[in-house]
């Protein structure tokens, strides 16, 4: 399900594409945004105001992630299944100029969607922007994908500058977010980069990384260079894993510059 960043509803029927907004005629580019582990469409609230009328921000609300035994309707349990389902939902809306931004887990999901979409002979993104994630072929640290207790999950969420501070006084909400974070990290742990038949994206790839990100080494982020046959850029911005929240003015200035270049 997709929503404009200016009008994200309080509840969503994740896993459907029934409310994709009619295209804003003032916008020259649609920016589909994929959230981090434990996040949601709300992660991109207010982005439209920062990027201006030329860019229509469309947050992607992914289908629920769950282990197969949980019996959650419409849920997916692997990264491959998640990418397939999101690609299926997005495909009808990618016939006009668009770009992808994925933050952390969202970078991996959006990369998979772009790969599947392009491999099917369809229109590639005008550009692909990855935030706070190592290149897909670089193996993730094992302690972030398996064996997380509630305490470890919460410490991860708090320590990386996520929504943790807002959850301390709401234990019920905190439990939901922690469980969602755990499931997302488990799904990320199922990702296996193809050993053959994977072509670089035929569009510019831009990578943004926090200067003090404890999860993503600079070399691992710069390794995205091998995933494009077009232009590549890497930019380190002040902050940690959620640098996009810590220094919004710098982040949106950089993102706006990237998107402005493809609009011309």
Q: What is the pTM of this model?
A: 0.86
Q: Which residues contact 70 (CB under 8 A, 6 or more apart)?
A: none
Q: Give Cα 222 distance to the centre of its chain.
A: 18
DSSP one-letter string for 214-247: SS--HHHHHGGGGGBSS-EEEEEESSSTTHHHHT
Give me the tens of pLDDT residue by residue for the chain, a chain 264 residues long: 444 444 443 333 344 344 455 567 678 999 999 999 888 888 899 999 999 999 999 999 898 887 665 556 567 889 999 999 999 999 999 999 999 999 999 999 999 999 999 999 999 999 999 999 999 999 876 555 444 566 666 666 655 555 556 666 777 777 777 788 888 888 898 999 887 767 999 999 999 999 999 889 999 999 999 999 999 999 999 999 999 999 999 999 999 999 999 855
CA atoms within 13 A on the CB side of 39: 23
Q: Give the single-character DSSP code of 92.
A: G
The CATH number given to 29-139+195-263 is 3.40.50.1820
pLDDT, residue 77, reads: 85
Q: Give the single-character DSSP code of 99.
A: E
Tokens representing 207 are 């990578």
Residue ranges covered by each domain of the chain? 29-139+195-263
Please give the angle made by the CA atoms of 240, 246 and 247, to the nearest 5 degrees.
110
**Burial environment of residue 239 by CB neighbours within 10 A (0 to 12, 13 to 18, 19 or more):** buried
């Amino acid at each position: 399900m997709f929503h404009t960043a200016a009008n994200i509803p309080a509840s969503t029927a994740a896993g459907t594409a029934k409310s994709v907004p009619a295209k804003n005629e003032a916008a020259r580019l649609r920016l589909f945004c994929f959230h981090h582990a434990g996040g949601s469409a709300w992660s991109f609230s207010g982005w439209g105001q920062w990027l201006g009328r030329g860019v229509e921000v469309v947050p992607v609300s992914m289908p629920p992630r769950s282990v197969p035994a949980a019996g959650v309707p419409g849920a997916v349990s692997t990264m491959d299944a998640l990418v397939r389902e999101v690609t299926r939902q997005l495909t009808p809306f990618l016939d006009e100029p668009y770009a992808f931004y994925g933050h952390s887990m969202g970078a991996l999901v959006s990369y998979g969607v772009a790969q599947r979409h392009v491999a099917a002979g369809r229109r590639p993104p005008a550009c692909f922007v990855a935030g706070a994630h190592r290149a897909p072929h670089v193996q993730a640290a094992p302690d972030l994908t398996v064996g997380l207790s509630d305490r470890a999950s919460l410490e991860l969420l708090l320590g990386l500058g996520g929504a943790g501070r807002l959850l301390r006084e709401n234990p019920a909400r905190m439990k939901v977010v922690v469980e969602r974070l755990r499931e997302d990290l488990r799904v990320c742990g199922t990702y296996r980069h193809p050993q053959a038949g994977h072509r670089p994206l035929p569009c510019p790839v831009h990578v943004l990384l926090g200067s003090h990100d404890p999860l993503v080494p600079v070399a691992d982020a710069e390794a995205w260079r091998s995933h494009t046959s077009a232009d590549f850029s890497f930019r380190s911005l002040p902050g940690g894993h959620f640098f996009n929240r810590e220094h919004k003015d710098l982040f949106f200035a950089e993102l706006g510059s990237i998107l402005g270049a493809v609009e011309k």
